[in-house]
Amino acid sequence: MKGVGSISILHVVFLAMTVIGLKNHVTIMPPLLEVAERDSWLSVLFTTIIMFPWLFLLVYIHRKSNQEPLKDWLPKKIGNVGSKIVIYTTAIFLIIIAAFTMIETLQWINTTFLPKTPKLILLVIYIALCILLVTTSLQTIVIVNVFVLLAVVVFGFFVAFTNLQVKDYDLLRPYFEHGFQPVINGLIYPASGFSELILFLFIQHQIKDRLRWHHFAIMLLILTGLTMGPLVGAITEFGPAEASKQRYPAYEEWGLVTIGRYVEHLDFLSIYQWLTGTFIRVGFILYVVSDLLGMAGDQRRIWKMLAFPFLFICLPLMLLNEHIFLQLKGNYILTATFIFFFLLSIFLMIVVVMTGKKAKKSKAVDQDPESGDP
């Protein structure tokens, strides 16, 4: 099952940095700053602590499923009908998540540097590029990711250290300025990103080695850092009030970058960060969908049965008013993402436990005639 085409644990960590890191670095920041403002970084810290025990649930499911493809493992445990309901529901939800990432990126492109370019043209081009990535293989995706991630990380550290000259860390105080309630209200947003670690269970059959708890812990800590960096940067550079009003705080931080008196306007580097991040995130999520539906490697089926449905889901989102889109994303989609993946992990755990008990009972029944009872 594993061998040629399999990926290493390090590749999984790099995928988490790009696929989930883009969401935590960009998508969750506006609603998180809006509800928690100055204490939003505390929401991230507490969420990391709260989510840590959940990682052991992922490890438990990963171990008990013997790294089998979930699309093959589920029918054995809950039957064809039940497994199809779970698989197709998950696939549809993943497509919706990918669509929101795509449209948010296109809105940013249209707002910042291509205001007169029709969104439909951008959408078709970007979807075509992402689908081309999906039609390759997981190994190709991780190789592309390694190349683009290097520059993304370098640029990230560059903007963080360059802007030290304008950061005022006193703006992080007072802690718990409005009590615990804003911090609690903000927990759901970083949790929405962290919960996407469950995605790696869907490609577990293509990972060379078994994922351990410390692998998930490392990914969680890296994602915490990727969330805290731009969040603390926005608060210390713009102040909590101004940062909470910004639509793209991570991008706005690039506008402050200057080197000496004559080198500035380096925000074009963030274009590379965001576009490559979206490319890998959407491509990977759609690859997971294609694998779940048994289409991985079949280019014709992917174009016919995945590309067009994805386009048709993106189109109505693109037509939404930007304010409505932001409200929909912040108030519903991010919350729904955490709830869906958390409930999915609980469901998979129940399947593991119940089928494990049945296996023990059937084994005991099989051994009973050999016990020598008259």
pLDDT tens for each residue of 290-337: 999 999 888 999 999 999 999 999 999 999 888 899 899 988 999 999
Q: Which residue has the higher pLDDT, 247 or 95?
A: 95
What is the rounded CA–CA span in Å between residue 287 and residue 281?
10
H or E stretch including 95? Answer: helix 70-112
Report CA torsion sign: 335, 128, 17, 106.
Answer: negative
pLDDT of residue 272 exceeding 70, the answer is yes
Query: Per-residue pLDDT averaged across 155-183, rounded?
Result: 91
What is the rounded CA–CA span in Å between residue 199 and residue 83?
17
Query: How does the average pLDDT of the chain come out, rounded?
Result: 90
pLDDT tens for each residue of 14-72: 999 999 999 998 899 999 999 999 999 999 999 999 999 999 999 999 999 999 999 99
Query: Per-residue pLDDT averaged across 174-187, rounded?
Result: 91
What's residue 361's pLDDT? 65
Res. 263 pLDDT band, cuts 50 70 90: confident
H or E stretch including 259? Answer: strand 258-259
| Long-range contacts at 8-11 (CB < 8 A, ≥ 24 apart) | 8/207, 8/208, 8/209, 9/207, 9/208, 9/209, 9/211, 9/215, 11/142, 11/145, 11/146
CB of 6 closer than 8 Å to CB of 208: yes
Cβ-count burial 239-265 (b if 16+ within 10 Å, e if not) = ebeebbebebbbbbbbebbeeeeeeee
What is the rounded CA–CA span in Å between residue 82 and residue 71?
11
pLDDT of residue 368 exceeding 60, the answer is no
Helices in 208-257 by DSSP H: which ranges?
213-238, 240-245, 249-252
CATH value of 9-354 in 1.10.10.10, 3.10.310.30, 1.10.3720.10, 1.20.1740.10: 1.20.1740.10
What is the rounded CA–CA span in Å between residue 305 and residue 303?
6
Classified as helix, coil or strand, 116 is coil
pLDDT tens for each residue of 103-117: 999 999 998 888 899
Q: Where are the domains of the chain?
A: 9-354
- Cα of 346 vs its chain's centroid, Å: 19
Q: Looking at the DSSP assignment, which residues form a beta bridge with residue 263?
A: 259
What's residue 321's pLDDT? 87
- The C-alpha torsion from 71 through 74 and 79 to 82, rounded to 10°, is -80
What is the rounded CA–CA span in Å between residue 181 and residue 37?
12
Q: Which of 151, 158, 214 is nearest to 12 (CA)?
A: 214
| Long-range contacts at 295-299 (CB < 8 A, ≥ 24 apart) | 296/137, 296/138, 297/135, 297/137, 299/135
Give backbone dihedrals phi and psi of 137, rounded to 5 degrees, phi first. Answer: -160, 165
- The C-alpha torsion from 300 through 76 and 212 to 145, rounded to 10°, is 0
